[in-house]
Amino acid sequence: MPHAVVMMLLIIVAAVALTYIVPSGEYQRTSAGLVVPGSYHTIAKDYSGLLTVGAKHDKGVAYPARPVAIVSSIPVGMTRSAALIFMILFIGGMFGVLQQTGALEAGIERLLVLTRGDVRIVVPVLMILLAAGSTFLGLISEYLVVIPMALVLSERLGYDALFGTALVTIAAKIGYLTSVTNPLALAIAQPMVGVPVFSGAGFRAATFVVFLPIGIWYLLRQCRPTHVAAPDDRQGAAADASRLSGRHRLVLMVLLAAIATMILGVQRLSWGSSELAAMYIAVAIAMAVAGRTNSRDASQAFVRGMQGMMLAGLLVGLAAAVEVILRDGMILDSIVAYLTRSIEGKPPVIVANLMMLMQMAIDVFIPSTSGKAAVTMPILGPIGQLAGVSGQVSVQAFLFGNGLMNTLTPTSGMLLAYLATGKISFGRWIRFILPLAGGLFALCILSLTVAVLTGL
């Protein structure tokens, strides 16, 4: 596999090529930005703009991306994702300060002593907590801050970086896949198909209870220790833990308070990436003060931490550039319209599962959960009703398709950020995760079939 940056550049080139091949078109949209079902119409594509110096933007006419868009779309994508990119950089800076204080290593050593270093205890407990935050609260980008901690933990347990990265990623993605009360997905998707927000939680909770143990089992089975700590190392860990200082305790209390504040801000105060980025700066300062780290060392640690997140931020911007090209070429709606026509007039069980497959395909072009819901649910809801598929099942197909592909697609900026933070190549991740994704895919098909047959 090529380097992640090269791979994203190749995807950008492919996106430019698609604007020449796929007919342009669009749906009408409401004032809220929702698609009006049945309103799709094609738009004439003008290729003469390729010969002009400036880009043309005449209303009612589509233009394929000019070759220069291969590079010009990148700063546009970076600008549109600026708040998220800076949040990622400041997460790295905060973690750099946390490492400088020594509190993280001391806290992890304490955890290992309490659990006697038993991976069969540590991993399930952590994955259940992470998955719960994702499935109940919709936390996903916030878990970037957890990955560096998981890497330190995996090293102490005798595993490599893939283990630590997968611990967070599998838990977060299974949580999002099941979305028991995930407000980011359900508050948008369910009203569009006429069902109450958070209804059907019992069925989704059942999938969560089934899917998560499979993810935990898969991680423990597939990953093997790369080294074994010697007995005297473990004794040393116990000695270190017994010397957990008041300074370290105070820093860890700041970290816990920051996590609680983050959850409150996202859930109750509608914080976005900008607010979270500001919070991470404030937390880094508070950690430096609590850890009695001098200003020069804290500043240097913050900068080092940001440097470690540069690749993650760049990949998020490159992923956004792909969507910029497809939207400017006006082919996203055409792709959605073509896919929806392929599921009309089929039996309910087939329609429900084809909906999931369609959502998986669209996820490659629109990785955003809220953006995908706004485009697809107003169309799929009526199609599903005509085929005898309830609105609840249509939402379930949306959740499954969205969650499955977000563990695989190279256009998911957040997945790439996870992998870049853990320094895991996309090729290695795909080889590792494909068997689990295949098993979950089969379970999703079975779940949708049961949902249709039981009248969910």
Cα dihedral sign for 378, 383, 385, 386?
positive
Using the predicted structure, report yes or no on whether residue 435 has a pLDDT greater than 90: yes
Domain count, the chain: 1
> Is 289 contained in some domain?
yes
Distance CA 443, CA 222 (A): 20
Using the predicted structure, report yes or no on whether residue 440 has a pLDDT greater than 50: yes
Using the predicted structure, report yes or no on whether residue 237 has a pLDDT greater than 50: no
Distance CA 186, CA 182 (A): 6
Using the predicted structure, report yes or no on whether residue 235 has a pLDDT greater than 60: no
Query: Using one digit for the tens of pLDDT, what is the confidence trace for 247-275?
Result: 888 988 888 888 788 778 876 787 878 88
> Is 42 contained in some domain?
no
- The pairs formed by 340-346 with CB atoms below 8 angstroms and a separation of 24 or more are 340/376, 340/379, 340/380, 340/383, 343/383, 343/387, 344/383, 344/386, 344/387, 345/387, 346/387
Work out the pLDDT band at 178, boundaries 50, 70, 90.
very high
Give the rounded percent of residues in the chain with a pLDDT score beyond 90: 28
Q: Domain range spanning residue 195? A: 80-313
Distance CA 226, CA 161 (A): 10
> Is 41 contained in some domain?
no
Using the predicted structure, report yes or no on whether residue 203 has a pLDDT greater than 90: yes
Residue 313 · residue 89 · CB < 8 Å? yes
| Predicted pLDDT at 34 | 67
Q: What is the mean pLDDT of residues 92-101?
A: 87
| Predicted pLDDT at 51 | 56
| Predicted pLDDT at 368 | 77
Work out the pLDDT band at 452, boundaries 50, 70, 90.
very high
Rounded to the nearest 10 degrees, what angle do helices 348-365 and 369-387 cross at? 160
Using the predicted structure, report yes or no on whether residue 53 has a pLDDT greater than 90: no
Distance CA 246, CA 294 (A): 17
Using the predicted structure, report yes or no on whether residue 44 has a pLDDT greater than 70: yes
| Predicted pLDDT at 240 | 47
| Predicted pLDDT at 163 | 94
Work out the widest C-alpha separation in the chain, in whole angstroms.
73
> Is 425 contained in some domain?
no
Using the predicted structure, report yes or no on whether residue 72 has a pLDDT greater than 80: yes
Using the predicted structure, report yes or no on whether residue 107 has a pLDDT greater than 80: no
CA distances from 124 to 36, 131, 140, 418 (A): 44, 10, 18, 20
Higher pLDDT pick, 342 / 328: 328
> Is 159 contained in some domain?
yes
Using the predicted structure, report yes or no on whether residue 366 has a pLDDT greater than 90: no
Using the predicted structure, report yes or no on whether residue 77 has a pLDDT greater than 80: yes
Higher pLDDT pick, 29 / 176: 176
Distance CA 390, CA 206 (A): 19
Work out the pLDDT band at 241, boundaries 50, 70, 90.
very low
Residue 456 · residue 197 · CB < 8 Å? no
Question: What does pLDDT average to over the chain?
Answer: 84
Q: Which residues contact 248 (CB under 8 A, 6 or more apart)?
A: 101, 102, 103, 106, 107, 291
Give the Cβ contact number of residue 401 at 10 Å. Answer: 25
Q: What is the mean pLDDT of residues 336-346?
A: 79
> Is 428 contained in some domain?
no
**Strongest mean pLDDT among 69-73, 87-91, 370-374:** 69-73
Query: Using one digit for the tens of pLDDT, what is the confidence trace for 324-334?
Result: 898 888 888 88
Query: Using one digit for the tens of pLDDT, what is the confidence trace for 405-434?
Result: 989 988 887 888 899 888 898 889 999 999
Using the predicted structure, report yes or no on whether residue 343 has a pLDDT greater than 60: yes
Work out the pLDDT band at 299, boundaries 50, 70, 90.
very high
- The pairs formed by 263-269 with CB atoms below 8 angstroms and a separation of 24 or more are 263/133, 263/137, 263/139, 263/142, 266/137, 266/138, 266/139, 266/142, 267/137, 267/183
Q: What is the mean pLDDT of residues 291-316?
A: 88
Higher pLDDT pick, 47 / 20: 20
Query: Using one digit for the tens of pLDDT, what is the confidence trace for 58-69?
Result: 677 888 888 888
Using the predicted structure, report yes or no on whether residue 335 has a pLDDT greater than 80: yes
Query: Using one digit for the tens of pLDDT, what is the confidence trace for 395-408?
Result: 999 999 989 998 99
DSSP of 328-390: HTT-HHHHHHHHHHTTTTS-HHHHHHHHHHHHHHHHHH---HHHHHHHHHHHHHHHHHHHT--
Quote the tokens at residue 362.
């669209």
H/E/C letters for each residue in 125-170?
HHHHHHHHHHHHHCCCHHHHHHHHHHHHHHHHHCCCHHHHHHHHHH
> Is 251 contained in some domain?
yes
Cα 335 from chain centre: 22
Work out the pLDDT band at 233, boundaries 50, 70, 90.
very low
